[in-house]
Amino acid sequence: MPSFVSENLLVLLIAVPFLGILAVVLARRDQWARYLAMASSLVSLALSLALWQAFDPTVPGMQFVQRTAWMPTFNVEFAVGLDGLSMLLVLLTTILTPLSVLASWSSITTKVKAYLSLILLVEGAMLLVFTAMDAFLFFMLWEVTMVPMYFMIVVWGGPKRIAAGLKFVLYSLTGSLLLLVGLLGLHLQAGDTFDIQAMAAATIDEDAQHWIFLALFLGFAIKLPMVPFHSWLPDAHSEAPTAGSVILAGILLKMGGYGFLRFCLPILPEVSAIYSKYILWASIVAILYGGCLALAQSDLKKLIAYSSISHMGFVTLGIFAFNEEGIQGSILQMFTHGVTTGALFLAAGLLYDRTHDRQIASYGGLHRPMPRFAVFFCIFCVASFALPGTANFMGEFLVLVGTSYGSLLMVVLSMGGIVLAAGYMLWTFQRVVLGRPASSVAASLPDMTPREIATLLPLAVIVFVVGVFPAPLVETMAATVAQIVERAGNVALLAVPGG
């Protein structure tokens, strides 16, 4: 029934992962569960591509809107919809999920069904977070994403998994509570509604705005994470199993940036503009601090994790630059960072599968035993430091252009982050792939299997295609971003630091 499908694309997209969980749980053998999880995530991908096809980039507001009363007494609705911002993050989520499933194909051997259903649960929850039009729904699913991540870390993680998992939960819960307080404040101020669009339209008391903004900001900043709220991230990323790291770094962090763009900027533009000066400087600190710490790491996954902190600095830098270039750059950066960092974690994961060793110093000279790996790793390393021609460059360049309206000094400083990134990435590449192997184990590692190639190849293609043809992605979000800027722009100009 094509008409039914085409009319309910978004709801179907959201429902598929949950149906997938059901199928996976009911599967009798682990292998079947793998195929079912794969099938479900591929269906999601197909649906999100169909949505993207049907998406009208000229409409700034929500499309494919579906509303149902959920808890009418509390004014809570089950309302979902897509705009340009959501569209890209939905695409990112559905692209990375099948690859995560594929990456855990043979590396996860215990409690396979539980693991796969957790992956699908995160996917479903993330899709709802990115499409929710109701703040209560948003918050509920925001919380739900934390649970599967916690279990993925704690049950299938590395040697220090319990401490890492607990730290993740404690930070996340602190963040969520702040977020809850902020959302409740908004709910009251906006006149007893949880509808995000109604919140944006309401006038909110000046004094309350400050406190609501701070609560929301801290909630999102912990998730993103911004320095100094980041210390959960390196542990969680490095202890999580491969798929966990991919989802965590690739998709979950983007909830923070999404939150800024969905709540802070449209609903509280005046206060956002007031605080933007401090946030911009905090972003610069994050870019440089994350880069420096990545330079000092000896653990491959931790290095990638710290590089994420640095790259997320660009996201906040662009968002709080308050102009189209900056915000589009941030969204593009979120998308491309998801792709490249996801790919880097996949690459690190396939090394870990072979040796159960994350130390950079244990490798070396991999170009000889693993030539295919060398090629892929090289692609994602150079993409990670935003080499022009790869996807990440466009995002960072737009962010820099956006920042240049405010302060040229910030542009120069944040470019220092790109140099640092080139430094730690190429140095890592040199230590892992070039030179002579550090041990006989490293000298005789088997090269990538076809399944592993299938995991990384799509991401490599995206890296190059978006690097050379970013227009389709940029067009998708252009109208939405223009609307956000229009709404926030006038007030923002007053507060952006001059220079």
Partner 1 sequence: MLPYALIPGLPLAAFLFLALAGGSISDRAHRIGIPAVGGSFVLSVAGLVRVALHGPLEITVYELLQVGGLRIEVGLWLDQLAAVVLVMVTGVSFIVHVYSARYMIGDPRYRRFFALIGLFTGAMALLVLSNNLLVTYMCWELMGICSYLLISHWAGRLPAARAATKSFLVNAVADVGLGFGVVLAFATYGTLDIREILAQAASMSGETVSLLGLEIGRNTLITLCLLSGAMGKSAQLPMHVWLPYAMEAPTPVSALIHAATMVNAGPFLLIRLSPLVMLAPSAMVAIAVVGAATALYGALVSLTQSDIKRLLAYSTISQIGFMVFACGVGAFTAAVFHLVAHGFLKGFLFLSTGNALWQAGHGHGPAMDGRSGSRRLAMGALVLACIPPLLLFAGPYEQLWTAQHSEGARAAFWCIALLAVFTTASYTYRAVQRLFSPRVGGAAPQLFAVNKIPAVALMTLGAAALMLPLWSRFTEFLGPAVGQGGPPPRATGISTALSVAVATALAGWFLAHARNRRPAANPVGQRRWAMRLYVLFLNQLYIDELHRASVVRPLLRMAAWLRDHVEEIFLEQVLLRAGVVRLALRLSDGMRRSVEGAVVEGAIQGLARFAVGVSGWEYRILDLRGVDSAVERATQAARASGRELQRREPRTVRSNLLIAVCGLVLVIGLAYWWIAA
Name residues contacting partner 1, limited to 250-309 (CB under 8 A).
Answer: 289, 292-293, 295-297
Could you say whether residue 213 binds partner 1 (CB under 8 A)?
no
Q: How far is the CB of 341 from partner 1 (least distance, A)?
A: 19
Could you say whether residue 184 binds partner 1 (CB under 8 A)?
yes
Could you say whether residue 188 binds partner 1 (CB under 8 A)?
yes
List binders of partner 1 among 338-367 (CB under 8 A): 365, 367
CA 11 to chain centre: 22
Residue from the set 66, 107, 189, 439 that interacts with partner 1 by CB under 8 A: 189
Alpha-carbon dihedral of residues 145, 148, 151, 157, nearest 10 degrees?
-90
Q: How far is CA 125 from CA 88, 100, 144, 338, 435, in A?
A: 16, 16, 6, 17, 44
Please count the CA atoms within 13 angstroms of the CA of 180 that sit on its side-chain side.
Answer: 10
Burial class (CB in 10 A: 0-12, 13-18, 19+), 39: middle
Query: In what helix (H) or strand (E) does residue 54 lie, and over which residues does it extend?
Result: helix 30-54
Q: How far is the CB of 184 from partner 1 (least distance, A)?
A: 5
Applying CB under 8 A, which part among 2-10, 336-344, 430-438, 451-459 lies near partner 1? 430-438
Nearest CA-CA partner of 172 in 230, 119, 257, 254: 230
Applying CB under 8 A, which part among 56-64, 249-257, 447-455, 471-479 lies near partner 1? 471-479
Alpha helices in 190-231 (DSSP H): 196-201, 206-223
- Residue identified by tokens 């709910």 is 187
Nearest CA-CA partner of 150 in 176, 175, 174, 173: 173
> In angstroms, rounded to a whole number, what is the distance separating the alpha carbons of residues 117 and 105?
13
Paired tokens of 308: 């994420």
Could you say whether residue 168 binds partner 1 (CB under 8 A)?
no
> In angstroms, rounded to a whole number, what is the distance separating the alpha carbons of residues 430 and 434?
5
Closer residue to partner 1 (CB): 33 or 146: 146
Applying CB under 8 A, which part among 85-93, 206-214, 265-273, 349-357 lies near partner 1? 206-214
Residue from the set 2, 3, 72, 436 that interacts with partner 1 by CB under 8 A: 436
Q: What number of other Cβ atoms are within 10 A of residue 285's Cβ?
A: 15
Could you say whether residue 472 binds partner 1 (CB under 8 A)?
no
Closer residue to partner 1 (CB): 35 or 427: 427
Q: How far is the CB of 170 from partner 1 (least distance, A)?
A: 5
Q: How far is the CB of 480 from partner 1 (least distance, A)?
A: 13
Site string for partner 1, 3-42 (x = CB under 8 A): ----------------------------------------
Packed helices 450-468 and 371-384: angle between N→C axes, nearest 10 degrees: 30
Residue from the set 116, 400, 462, 463 that interacts with partner 1 by CB under 8 A: 400
Could you say whether residue 415 binds partner 1 (CB under 8 A)?
yes
Closer residue to partner 1 (CB): 43 or 411: 411
Could you say whether residue 325 binds partner 1 (CB under 8 A)?
yes
Q: How far is the CB of 122 from partner 1 (least distance, A)?
A: 15
List binders of partner 1 among 372-391 (CB under 8 A): 374, 378, 382, 387-389
Could you say whether residue 143 binds partner 1 (CB under 8 A)?
yes
Paired tokens of 451: 């399944």
Q: Are 311 and 291 in contact (CB under 8 A)?
A: no
Site string for partner 1, 108-137 (x = CB under 8 A): ---x--x-----------------------
Q: How far is the CB of 139 from partner 1 (least distance, A)?
A: 8
- Residue identified by tokens 């979000």 is 477
Could you say whether residue 454 binds partner 1 (CB under 8 A)?
no
Q: What are phi and psi of 55, to 5 degrees?
A: -65, 135
Query: In what helix (H) or strand (E) does residue 81 lie, and over which residues does it extend?
Result: strand 76-82
> In angstroms, rounded to a whole number, what is the distance separating the alpha carbons of residues 194 and 480?
21
Q: Give me the amino acid identity at 151.
A: F
List binders of partner 1 among 218-257 (CB under 8 A): 218, 228, 230-231
Q: How far is the CB of 492 from partner 1 (least distance, A)?
A: 14
Residue from the set 393, 438, 442, 455 that interacts with partner 1 by CB under 8 A: 393
**Before 225, cis peptide (omega within 30)?**
yes
Residue from the set 166, 274, 285, 491 that interacts with partner 1 by CB under 8 A: 166
Applying CB under 8 A, which part among 49-57, 172-180, 253-261, 269-277 lies near partner 1? 172-180
Residue from the set 38, 140, 202, 454 that interacts with partner 1 by CB under 8 A: 140
| Number of shown-chain residues binding partner 1 (CB under 8 A) | 95
Q: Are 104 and 91 in contact (CB under 8 A)?
A: no
Q: What number of other Cβ atoms are within 10 A of residue 489's Cβ?
A: 16
List binders of partner 1 among 47-106 (CB under 8 A): 73-74
Nearest CA-CA partner of 256 in 232, 224, 278, 288: 224
